[in-house]
Amino acid sequence: MATSTAAPPSPGLAKASMSPFEVLSQSVAGIAPSAVMATGPALVALNAGGSILYSYVFSTIILLMVGWCIAQFAKRQGSGATLLSYIHRALGPAAGFLGAICLAFGYVMIALASLGGLVLYAQPLLELVRVPSPTSIGVTVVVMVVAMCLAAYAMVRGVQLSTRIGVVLEVLSVLCILAVIVAVLATSGFKAAPLSPPDLGPSSIAGGMVLAILGYVGFESAACMGTEARNPQRTIPRAVIGSVVIVGVLYLLSAYAQLVGFGTGEALSADAAPLNTLADNANVHALGYLVDLGAVASFFACITGSVNAASRLLHSMGTRGLLPRVVGGTHADHRTPHVAILTLVGLLGLLGVVATLAGMEPLLLFALAGTVGTYGYMVAYILVSVGVGLFLMRRGEPAVAAFVVGVVAAVGMLYVLFRNVYPVPASPYNVLPWGFLAVLVVAAAWYGYIRSQVDPLHVDEELLEVEGDLVGPG
């Protein structure tokens, strides 16, 4: 669960320096699987009940097809391309603009979801150091404000954690979770019940798939590493597809162990920190705190990564007049898009605090923001899946397989979106699709407005420039 847009390459950046393993490692670490392994199954269970494993299986299959579509672009444009440029070149500037807005919206909402996740896993750590009432509204607000201030400071100054340090921390966190899983299975044994839940059916499976897909977002981030990957036409497609396979296996292991430990999806979804409970039950209590620490670090990294990506996208569009130009402001000393960063951080902090003061629990904030944010990613994935066949056909290449795979992937995601609208879900999930639809309508209206005010060809050129700004390693 992370972002797919990366920083433009800085002057003097080494070319073609990353091995296939390094590209794959960055792609996997960018998804932040440890946070999803800890939190994802309980969230998926909110809508899927006991059908969690099947929600993950079908999500993995659909995203493998999307990954295959992305790989077709990457094989032919391995360097100097992004998901947005793929959409633009396949379907035109309007689709490229829509994809940009959907991704920016997804970044912001997933950053908000990560803020809820950070608070959720910080609570046991605060209790460990004897902070009074760590789950109270007051403490939650303080944690949110401190987290967003630290994130803003780091992003405005341009401070970035080393990618390799990030990979090491993520690996250590995953290993702690795997240790808890082994302890749970050693205590409870392997059971067949999670494979045949009583509520198994298309509705429950599709209902859980939006939050299951949330755990994979950012898997396409390898597509932004073309300028540094050795032999990008081979390395990037393998990293994109390989990252889905790796995290898919991790999610299935975690979901299975948690279903075994809790017995039912309903019991699992009722626990805000299931791995802590399972660690206690398996007599590995200390590992629970290591899982919490790793999850907090992973969620914080996801906040900064998401806001960095969204701010860079908004900044680039602002400097080119596709959004109000004030959004394109750049810090005089640090040369970072500080106006966009501070605007987004302020918005996220405000949304988080207001939701908390209104009585919303961190887990619900994670679920709601994560769900609607995933809609944005899914639209971008649908566009790139639909476009791959047209892209190959224009190049005079065989396109039948691309059309088939792309259409199946797009239809699968559209079905998931449909099942999250009908039957009408319970409140407050019933308003999320309409809120996202409102974002699409506003984006379409704004695109129509800017094209009516300036030369449409100029708008198209500026969109390509925006997409070019997003190319480079993270």
> In this predicted model, what pLDDT tens digit does every residue of 17-46 receive, in sequence order?
667 777 777 667 668 788 899 989 998 998
Predicted local distance difference test score (pLDDT) of residue 183: 93
Residue 335's nearest CA partner among 324, 319, 355, 350 is 319
CB atoms near residue 198 (< 10 Å): 11
Predicted local distance difference test score (pLDDT) of residue 45: 93
Sequence-ordered list of residues with C-beta below 8 angstroms from that of 52, at least 6 positions apart, any chain:
41, 44, 45, 194, 208, 212, 255, 259, 265, 268
- Asked if the model's pLDDT at residue 259 lies above 80, the reply is yes
Please tell me which residue, 443 or 405, carries the higher pLDDT value.
Answer: 405
- Asked if the model's pLDDT at residue 467 lies above 80, the reply is no
Predicted local distance difference test score (pLDDT) of residue 455: 56
Predicted local distance difference test score (pLDDT) of residue 335: 64
Predicted local distance difference test score (pLDDT) of residue 6: 41
Q: Are 31 and 63 in contact (CB under 8 A)?
A: no
Segment 96-120, tens digit of pLDDT:
888 888 988 988 999 999 999 999 9
Predicted local distance difference test score (pLDDT) of residue 459: 55
At 122, the pLDDT band (50, 70, 90 cuts) reads very high
| Mean pLDDT, rounded, for 124-137 | 91
- Asked if the model's pLDDT at residue 52 lies above 90, the reply is yes
Predicted local distance difference test score (pLDDT) of residue 257: 96
Most confident of 72-76, 413-417, 420-424, 456-460: 413-417
Please tell me which residue, 115 or 154, carries the higher pLDDT value.
Answer: 115
Segment 352-394, tens digit of pLDDT:
999 999 999 998 999 899 999 999 999 999 999 999 999 999 9
- Asked if the model's pLDDT at residue 472 lies above 50, the reply is no
Q: Are 422 and 202 in contact (CB under 8 A)?
A: no
Q: Are 221 and 69 in contact (CB under 8 A)?
A: no
**Burial 364-380, CB ≥16 within 10 A → b, else e:** bbbbbbbbbbbbbbbbb
The amino acid at 352: G
| Mean pLDDT, rounded, for 328-346 | 77
At 337, the pLDDT band (50, 70, 90 cuts) reads confident
Rounded to two decimals, the pTM is: 0.84
- Asked if the model's pLDDT at residue 4 lies above 50, the reply is no
Could you give the CA distance from residue 225 to residue 236 in angstroms, rounded to a whole number? 8
Predicted local distance difference test score (pLDDT) of residue 356: 96
Please tell me which residue, 399 or 285, carries the higher pLDDT value.
Answer: 399
Sequence-ordered list of residues with C-beta below 8 angstroms from that of 423, at least 6 positions apart, any chain:
203
Q: Are 85 and 468 in contact (CB under 8 A)?
A: yes
**Beta bridge partners of residue 229, listed in sequence order:** 18
Residue 367's nearest CA partner among 148, 132, 109, 154 is 109
Could you give the CA distance from residue 62 to residue 458 in angstroms, rounded to a whole number? 36
**Burial 5-44, CB ≥16 within 10 A → b, else e:** bbbeeeeeeeeeebebebbbbbbbbbbbbbbbbbbbbbbb
Predicted local distance difference test score (pLDDT) of residue 389: 95
- Asked if the model's pLDDT at residue 463 lies above 70, the reply is no
| Mean pLDDT, rounded, for 390-414 | 94
| Helix spans in 322-394 (H) | 338-357, 362-394
Q: Are 7 and 473 in contact (CB under 8 A)?
A: yes
Segment 218-236, tens digit of pLDDT:
787 766 665 556 777 788 8
Residue % of the chain over a pLDDT of 90: 43
Which burial class, exposed, middle or buried, applies to 425 when counting CB atoms under 10 A from its CB (0-12, 13-18, 19+)?
middle
Segment 422-444, tens digit of pLDDT:
888 888 889 999 999 999 999 88
Please tell me which residue, 323 or 64, carries the higher pLDDT value.
Answer: 64
> CA angle at residue 298 from 56 to 180, to 5 degrees?
60
| Mean pLDDT, rounded, for 317-326 | 66
The amino acid at 469: D
Least confident span in 1-15, 101-115, 318-332? 1-15
Predicted local distance difference test score (pLDDT) of residue 379: 94
Please tell me which residue, 416 or 220, carries the higher pLDDT value.
Answer: 416
Could you give the CA distance from residue 87 to residue 252 in angstroms, rounded to a whole number? 31
Q: What is the mean pLDDT of the chain?
A: 83
